[in-house]
Chain A
Amino acid sequence: MSAALIVRSIGPAAAIQDLGRAGFMSSGLTRGGASDPTALYEGAALLGHAPTSAALEMVGIGGSFEATADTRIALTGAVMDASIAGSTVQWNASHLLPAGSVLTIGTARRGNFGYLHVGNGFDTPKYLGTRGSHLSAGLGRLVEVGDQLDTCTDTSTDVGLHLVPEQRLDGGKIRFVRSMQSDKFDAPTFTRFTQTEFRRDPRGNRQGIRMDFDGDGFKANGQLNIVSEVIIAGDIQITGDGTPFVLMHECQTTGGYPRIGTILPADLSKVSQAPVGSKFTFELLTFDEGAAVQTRANAVLDKLRKMVKPLLRDVSTIQDLLSYQLISGVVSATASPLDEGNKL
């Protein structure tokens, strides 16, 4: 029998996700995949497997999972409370989940989408070549209590590693470049768009997220006469009433509303992870600036494995204690660094 996690409890919108399935655009199926792909790269770096491995995506709330065999796990994305057999474990880190013990993951303290990874990924059924769920296309389904999530064979035993994640859970500045319909918006509209502070609206799902704002709507020239055209994840679509929607990974392949521009892939997880009410501004980059930012972001993802560090748990196990900067800045010389918990 292969190893598995048995789902003892689960939040309402958890599903197996990966980096999605490319190649079906001409058949009306967008790539889909995890709402925060960076979190998949981080999990892969912590466990030493391929970023294409499948993980469990949990939306706002986690669940509890019993391992049928010793299982390496990693936790990334939205920060949630987690414990193994009742003992708190750190987020953005890898751990051993011993056979028969239960991992419990609570509600998200920051961000929306948390990820549970297992060594070499989950071995759940593939749909059109890959394991990621594409819920709007009916591929895969939400995870339910009682599900057995099989895991791929994993020969590594490395756990106890952590990673400082790229900041992306609180909204902020979102960089975008012009796209094919940007010339339908005039210069004053662009200026106002980039000077407006937006708030993440409660209306949002895996297909798109509405941006709330004060003031008049944004208008394209000839808005009503635009022929439906290809959609890319990250497109900022302006609907009929002038409200921007950011189109996400599970968006449709074509749409009739004009797009003012396209968010860099490197910044799209900031949109999906921002809780309702988070503030955003949009910064327009030239094509060359945008391509350079994205190239650097790709390079960071490729090098994540080198950023992984041992998790500090017990001073007695630390070989090179002097290399750690235990006393610095505002940290009191008398305080135990171990009390700092998640700040390690």
Chain B
Amino acid sequence: MTEHADPLNIWPQVKTVGLAGIIVTFSGVLSESANRAAIAFRAAVVALEWSEVEESNSTLVSTFLRIDLSRHRPEPIIERLQDLIARQDWLSAPLPSGRTLWRVPTLFGTDRAPQLAEAAELAGRSVENAITELSTTTMRVLTIGFAPGQPYLGTLPDHWNIPRQTNITPSVPAGSLVTAVSQFCLFPFDTPTGWRHVGATGFLSFRPNSEHPFPLSPGDEMIFDPVSESEFSWIEAHDQTGNGGAQIEELT
């Protein structure tokens, strides 16, 4: 009996997105390798400087190229993309260079991040163990989205695959570190959310009046170093940059 290949299960997939562009998707589910492929493939396309590409983006598992398809036929561009896809195994591609590691001072728990205990219990950890795990896992900026500059960070160990809460918290403040589904988000604005609020930081991921309004890029790494309430207060009182006392290292 012949086995029929399901065309929906062959990866990567290259598709048009309305008349707005072309997307290359590396997997139907979020994985570390598919996210890395999306980031690496975007960097490779950007380096080629194709004149049709107005801007590009990497989402959780895809590279998107904005191209006005009412002005450019998609077929020749898709052909060039297929050539680029065939050039290497993108799922094992290294992350591009020029990334940054951010070590962000974080106040875990207390009344500034009141859902740490609840999140720890759902993950089956004591509060102390939870702080250790949340603050020692190097997290990757998987993608930026939802709000300007807002990173989705992955991924925590499997037992942190905790669901979003059914009730939305009406507002958590800008700089809040929240968790669900083995990920963190770091909010640029006061935000309603179904993710649990486990840490407070002074890190602003959107700085509209700065020369560099978007400090983070997909592929950057973040570590959330625990600090005491008094250290955190000092940072809040003194930081003018929006970095919230973060230490910055270039990754090569």
State whether A177 and B56 are in contact (beta carbons under 8 Å apart), knowing that A26-B217, A252-B147, A291-B70 are contacts in the complex. Answer: no
Report whether B144 and A28 are in contact in the complex, using a CB–CB cutoff of 8 Å: yes
- A110-169 interface with B by 8 A CB criterion: 127-128, 137-139
Contacts of A15 in B (CB 8 A): none
| Whole-angstrom CA separation of A253 from B150 in the bound complex | 11
Our pick among B23, B144, B150, B206 for the contact of A180 (Cβ within 8 Å) is: B23
Q: Does A327 contact B (CB under 8 A)?
A: no
- Contact A177 B18, CB 8 Å, known A137-B148, A254-B145, A295-B71: yes
**Contact assessment for B208 and A128 in the assembled complex, using a CB-CB cutoff below 8 Å:** yes
Which A234-265 residues have a C-beta within 8 angstroms of B? 234-235, 252-254, 261-265
Contact with A along B87-117 (1 / 0, CB 8 A): 0000000000000000000000000000000
- By the criterion of a CB under 8 Å from any partner CB, how many residues of chain A are at the interface? 42
Evaluate whether A180 and B17 lie within 8 angstroms (CB atoms) in the complex, with A28-B149, A128-B208, A252-B147 already known.
Answer: yes
A70 contacts partner chain B, Cβ-Cβ < 8 Å: no
- Chain B residues closer than 8 Å to A254, beta-carbon distance: 59-60, 143, 145-146
Contact sample, A vs B, 26 pairs, CB 8 Å cutoff: A22-B66, A23-B55, A24-B148, A26-B55, A26-B57, A26-B58, A26-B218, A28-B146, A28-B148, A29-B149, A176-B18, A180-B15, A180-B23, A227-B28, A227-B30, A227-B60, A230-B57, A232-B18, A235-B18, A254-B60, A254-B145, A262-B17, A291-B70, A294-B70, A298-B70, A298-B71
| Residues of B14-49 whose CB lies within 8 A of A | 15-21, 23, 25, 27-30, 42
Number of interface residues of B (CB under 8 A): 45
For the complex, what is the distance from the CA of A178 to the CA of B57, rounded to whole Å? 21
Interface pair B17/A27, CB less than 8 Å apart: no
Q: How far is the CA of A253 from the CA of B28 in the complex (A)?
A: 19
* A binding-site residues for B, Cβ under 8 Å: 22-29, 127-128, 137-139, 176-180, 183, 225, 227-230, 232-235, 252-254, 261-265, 287, 290-291, 294-295, 298
Whether the pair B64, A294 counts as a contact (CB closer than 8 A) is no
- Asked whether A252 and B55 contact (CB < 8 A) given A179-B18, A291-B69, the answer is no
Whether the pair B145, A28 counts as a contact (CB closer than 8 A) is yes
**Which A residues are CB-close (under 8 A) to B189?**
138
| Chain A residue contacts of B27, Cβ below 8 A | 227
Q: Which residues of B contact A232 (CB under 8 A)?
A: 17-18, 20-21
B213 contacts A by Cβ under 8 Å:
yes
In the complex, which of the residues A22, A177, A263, A264 contacts B54, with contact meaning CB atoms closer than 8 Å? A22
A25 engages B148 (CB within 8 Å) = no
Q: How far is the CB of A130 from chain B (nearest CB, A)?
A: 13
* Residues of chain B from 44 to 87 with CB closer than 8 A to chain A in the complex: 54-62, 64, 66, 69-71, 74
Smallest Cβ distance from B152 to chain A, in angstroms?
A: 8
A28 to B207, CA, bound (A): 13
Residue of chain A at shortest CB distance from B216: A27
- Determine whether the beta carbon of A180 is less than 8 Å from that of B25: yes
CA distance A75 to B23 in the complex (A): 39
**Chain B residues whose CB sits within 8 angstroms of the CB of A179 once the complex forms:** 15-18
B39 → chain A, closest Cβ, in Å? 10
Q: Which residues of A contact B217 (CB under 8 A)?
A: 26
Chain B 179-216 per-residue mask, 1 if CB under 8 angstroms from chain A, else 0 = 00000000001000000000000000010100001100
**Chain A: CB-nearest residue to B15:** A180
Nearest neighbor of A30 in chain B, beta-carbon distance: B148
Nearest-neighbor residue (CB-CB) of B23 within chain A: A180
A139 to B188, CA, bound (A): 13
Cα distance A225–B30 when bound, in Å? 10
